[in-house]
Amino acid sequence: MKLSREFYSRDTKKVAKELLGKVLIHETKEGTLKGKIVETEAYYGKGEDPASRAHKGKSNFCMPMFEEVGKAFVYMVHNNWLLNIVSHSKGKVGAVLIRALEPLEGIELMEKRRSVNNIRNLCRGPGRLTKALGINRSYNGVDLTGNDLFLEDSNEKFVIIKTKRIGISKGKSKLLRFYIKDNTFVSSGR
């Protein structure tokens, strides 16, 4: 079942944890791409999270984090597009960075897009997964409750590990990174 907007209308940290195991689906002209979310990071707004893109308040760049939940917030870091999902409780600001996927369907197309034939490294990191799935700046603001790029529920059971976020210079002590224990598709920053 497709995740509803209500799923994303909760505390960002809770959504980041509960996105683990969900399936990200991208319907493209070339075929369907699917991956299980195995790693996420939560980011909050002004005054709450110095590592967040919204830590200085509203700007054109981070505006999606302040707006309707359940939409994509896509931006570039070090020549890599990063996919975030806007999620926060009413009156708050937040988004969840999707850090890694376990490829499930459309693997040949993912390999072609990444010029990689090692399934373990296809979507192991936020820039790799966007390239494999064909997600770029044009997806910024896309409604993830729609039909082209969306998430589906799963009933899989697993243990969640909570750690510090990766690759940030501020807010390092916050335990806002979550991943599925012993999943080999989690990024290398364990």
Assign 3-state DSSP to the chain and report helix, strand, coil percentages, each to 5: 20, 30, 50
Give me the phi and psi of 83, to 5 degrees please. Answer: -100, 120
Spatial distance between the Cα atoms of 187 and 84, rounded to a whole number of angstroms: 16
Measured in whole angstroms, the distance separating CA 26 from the mean position of its chain's CA atoms is 13
pLDDT at 121: 93
Domain of 72? Answer: 5-180
Does a structural domain hold residue 119? yes
CATH code where residue 105 lies: 3.10.300.10
User: Residue 185 domain-assigned?
Assistant: no
- Inter-CA distances, 36 with 45, 79, 91, Å: 27, 24, 30
Residue 98 lies in a domain: yes
In a domain, 189, yes or no: no
Q: Which long-range contacts (CB under 8 A, 24 or more apart) does 109-112 make?
A: 109/28, 109/30, 109/31, 109/33, 110/33
Residue 139 makes CB contacts below 8 A (sequence gap 6+) with: 72, 74, 83, 149
Question: Could you tell me if residue 36 is inside a domain?
Answer: yes
Q: Cα 40 to chain center, whole Å?
A: 6
Give the pLDDT confidence score for residue 13 in this predicted structure: 96
Asked whether residue 118 is assigned to any structural domain, the reply reads: yes
Model pLDDT, residue 42: 94
Spell out the per-residue pLDDT of the chain, length 190, in tens.
Answer: 999 999 999 999 999 999 999 999 999 999 999 999 999 999 888 777 666 665 665 666 667 777 899 999 999 888 899 999 999 989 888 999 999 999 999 999 999 999 999 999 999 999 999 999 999 999 999 999 999 999 999 989 999 999 998 887 787 778 999 999 999 999 976 4
At 143, phi and psi to the nearest 5?
Answer: -75, 115
- Helix axis angle for 107-114 and 126-133, nearest 10°, is 110
Domain count for the chain? 1
Asked whether residue 73 is domain-assigned, the answer is yes
Instruction: Tell me, yes or no, whether 186 lies in a domain.
Output: no
Query: What is the amino acid identity at position 169?
Result: S
Total-model pTM? 0.93
